[in-house]
């Protein structure tokens, strides 16, 4: 059961970071290289407690679907999404936000179990864990860019 923990400092207020992290549209932008689209459940806007989204994307040359649900929601400090159905045996992705003098610390804790028992564990070691970590880093960098750009645009406009 690999656990990926990432922490990103974003120079923007906590609410902006929280909202961008639960945005379907921002998620699709950050994963456009996989052709990821929301096809069922909430397909745009901001995810809320109890809502589901089904994603369709191409990973490892295979088109796949994964449905996740928001199972915990404490705005603007934390939310959790968990897999309902998909390729993994299970996953739980906790998003934590902490206000600081410099902006917001955004922490991801991605806890998952690969399918296929021993073969899945071998895949984790060889490539899957690093692949998932790169996806999360790309997503976090996109959120950071959007949040800091939003703050810059707001300051330039004087609002």
For residue 85 the two structure tokens come to 């159905």
User: What's the confidence (pLDDT) of residue 123?
Assistant: 67
User: What's the confidence (pLDDT) of residue 98?
Assistant: 98
Domain 3-154: what homologous superfamily? START domain (3.30.530.20)
Query: In degrees rounded to 5, what are phi and psi of residue 88?
Result: -70, 155
Domain ranges in the chain? 3-154
- Select from 36, 112, 47, 40 the least CA-distant residue to 75: 47
Specify the pTM.
Answer: 0.91
For residue 49 the two structure tokens come to 């407690």
Using a 10 angstrom Cβ sphere, with 0-12 exposed, 13-18 middle and 19 or more buried, the burial of residue 6 is middle
User: What's the confidence (pLDDT) of residue 59?
Assistant: 79
In three-state secondary structure terms, 56 is: strand
**CA-to-CA distance for 27 and 36, rounded, in angstroms?**
9
- Select from 65, 2, 7 the least CA-distant residue to 34: 65
Per-residue tens of pLDDT for the chain, all 159 residues: 789 999 999 999 999 999 999 999 999 999 998 899 999 999 999 999 999 999 999 877 789 999 999 999 999 999 999 999 998 899 999 999 999 999 999 999 999 988 777 776 776 777 888 999 999 999 999 999 999 998 777 665 665
User: What's the confidence (pLDDT) of residue 155?
Assistant: 64
């Amino acid at each position: 059961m690999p656990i990926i923990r990432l922490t990103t400092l974003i120079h923007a207020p906590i609410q902006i970071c929280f909202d961008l992290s639960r945005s379907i549209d921002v998620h699709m932008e950050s994963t456009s290289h996989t052709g990821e689209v929301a096809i069922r459940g909430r397909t745009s806007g901001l995810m809320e407690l109890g809502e589901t989204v089904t994603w369709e994307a191409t990973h490892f040359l295979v088109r796949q679907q994964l449905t996740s649900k928001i199972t915990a929601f404490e705005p603007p400090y934390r939310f959790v999404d968990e897999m309902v159905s998909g390729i993994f045996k299970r996953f739980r992705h906790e998003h934590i936000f902490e206000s600081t003098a410099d902006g917001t610390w955004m922490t991801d804790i991605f806890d998952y179990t690969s399918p296929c028992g021993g073969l899945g564990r071998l895949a984790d070691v060889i490539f899957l864990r690093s692949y998932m970590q790169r996806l999360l880093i790309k997503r976090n960098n996109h959120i950071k860019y959007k949040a800091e750009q939003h703050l810059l645009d707001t300051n330039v406009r004087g609002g």
